[in-house]
Copies of this chain bind each other. A is one copy, B any other.
């Protein structure tokens, strides 16, 4: 019997989504020392991609209400990353319906970004196809991220995959936005995505949330069934229950190009201090919305309401009554 837990698959690449998903917790208000230290950590740890934030519409989101990483202007990118003379690739996410992507995403030769990740709901797939084509034609690697897939039926998912398979996106990501998927569902989805991705030379990725303490486990499950693109964040920083913790993922991957010690240093020096200011993690309310396959917004509201925060049963009664 083989022991795959001590070997590795060289095709596997890791993306750090600390700034992007974590930005949803603090409206992207990360200061430059934090961002620079994270960048340095990703480089030293051998991480492949760092997703620095969103290219969000300034018509929809007020520039002065959010930190720079909501918009990822080229000036901000270069102020912190310079010309990025490292093997680490930089990525930004662009949301269907929330971006002026035609103007805000510059041609690749004018940007230090390497990858554009297009995030969309199933009903937005037609716009997503346009966005993918736009980013590809401008010269970027492109990833297609169908969000909240736990709310879609199999035929909807197959319809999306059929359309995305025809685009020049090089990655299709299984995105468990609500942190509600169990092992066997991850297996089914990864296999389904691979059916469409493999024949067109695309890779499949996984982006998990930790509502059920399954973010790391589901990432392993996705790897077992063939996913080669993995999202994780330092200390699991991310919206609500957070994401797959990078320290656990890098501790599991056996490719010697990855190094865990710089990650522990970043968690010690930057994540733990941040934890005293903002909250994320698999708290009770996030478990409940995960179990019910609900958006975490009600849980986020309860956790930030001093009256509701510790009243788990009231919250449970409320969200099950409304379900």
Per the 8 Å Cβ criterion, residues 220-241 of A in contact with B are 220-221, 224
Quick check: A267 and B220 within 8 Å, CB to CB?
no
Q: Return chain B residues, CB-CB under 8 Å to A81.
A: none
Interface membership of A274, Cβ < 8 A: no
Q: Return chain B residues, CB-CB under 8 Å to A265.
A: 312-313
Given the contacts A248-B213, A248-B287, A251-B287, A183 and B264 also touching, CB distance less than 8 Å: no
Number of interface residues of A (CB under 8 A): 42
Quick check: B183 and A284 within 8 Å, CB to CB?
no
Quick check: B248 and A267 within 8 Å, CB to CB?
no
In the docked arrangement, what's the CA distance between A214 and B213, Å?
7
Q: Per-residue 0/1 for A196-219: is the Cβ within 8 Å of any B Cβ (1 yes, 0 no)?
A: 000000000000001011111110
Interface membership of A261, Cβ < 8 A: yes
Given the contacts A216-B212, A312-B267, A312-B268, A184 and B287 also touching, CB distance less than 8 Å: no
In the docked arrangement, what's the CA distance between A3 and B313, Å?
29
Contact of A4 among B184, B291, B312 (CB under 8 A): B184
Quick check: B284 and A247 within 8 Å, CB to CB?
yes
From residue A264, how far is it (CB to closest CB) to chain B in Å? Answer: 5
Nearest B residue to A312, CB-CB: B268
Q: How many copies does the complex hold?
A: 2
Interface membership of A1, Cβ < 8 A: yes
Contact of A214 among B217, B260, B261, B310 (CB under 8 A): B217
Contact of A213 among B185, B215, B221, B267 (CB under 8 A): B215
Quick check: B312 and A284 within 8 Å, CB to CB?
no
Interface membership of A130, Cβ < 8 A: no
Q: Per-residue 0/1 for A243-275: is the Cβ within 8 Å of any B Cβ (1 yes, 0 no)?
A: 001011001100000001100110110001000
In the docked arrangement, what's the CA distance between A216 and B213, Å?
7
Given the contacts A216-B212, A247-B284, A184 and B268 also touching, CB distance less than 8 Å: no
Q: Return chain B residues, CB-CB under 8 Å to A264.
A: 284, 288, 312-313, 316
Q: Return chain B residues, CB-CB under 8 Å to A261.
A: 313, 316-317
In the docked arrangement, what's the CA distance between A307 and B247, Å?
22
In the docked arrangement, what's the CA distance between A183 and B219, Å?
11
Nearest B residue to A185, CB-CB: B5
Lowest 8 A-B CB distances belong to which pairs?
Answer: A217-B217, A268-B312, A251-B291, A5-B182, A264-B312, A265-B313, A213-B216, A264-B316
Task: Please name 15 pairs of A and B residues whose Cβ atoms are closer than 8 Å in the assembled complex, sorted by A.
Answer: A1-B188, A4-B184, A183-B220, A213-B216, A213-B217, A213-B248, A247-B284, A251-B287, A252-B291, A264-B313, A264-B316, A265-B312, A267-B284, A267-B312, A268-B284
